[in-house]
Structure 1
């Protein structure tokens, strides 16, 4: 079996192009993931001051749940709830 193609210049170019595409896709995915994490962190940081401003104490367990949540949509729902909730636990309660 002739394997000379795999050592050829053309083969090297194809591999290099594939590597470059893979790196570009990885960077794009990394940026998207970074933006999602940033949105989640921003929303988590928005919930706690709302509760504090309303005079609602936030137990460590709830604070940890809020800051550990990485889902921007869930955090958006919790932020909306924080405006009218009567307790911190109510924000994270399953509806």
Structure 2
């Protein structure tokens, strides 16, 4: 029995690969944004004041490893600027 495998326009083309890259980049940016929001949310929940410059720096970061380190630090810092001390 033959199995039907649909071939969609653009399948396997440079256009499809470009779409996949854009989609993956968007996913990574979304994940980073979520991590950044979590850092700020933990600080807010703990009553730690966050300046606009700290908020902007956290939200602009796209490096998930850095954001994860900041999230870990957000659990113990007493000032928001302490997130960045080990950099």
Higher helix fraction (1 or 2): 1
- Give distance in 2, aligned partners of 1:93 and 1:29: 34
Q: Report how far residue 72 of structure 1 moved.
A: 1.5
The runs of 5 or more residues in structure 1 that have no matched partner are 1-16
The alignment yields a C-alpha RMSD, in angstroms, of 1.5
Query: 1:41-80 to 2 correspondence within 5 Å?
Result: 41-80=33-72
Query: When the two structures are aligned, how many residues end up with a matched partner?
Result: 77
> SS at 2:13's partner residue?
helix
**Larger-Rg structure:** 1
* Equivalence for 1:93: 85
> SS at 1:28's partner residue?
helix
> SS at 2:78's partner residue?
coil
TM, length-normalised to structure 1: 0.75
Q: Report how far residue 37 of structure 1 moved.
A: 0.2
- Give distance in 1, aligned partners of 2:14 and 2:85: 41
- Give distance in 2, aligned partners of 1:51 and 1:79: 9
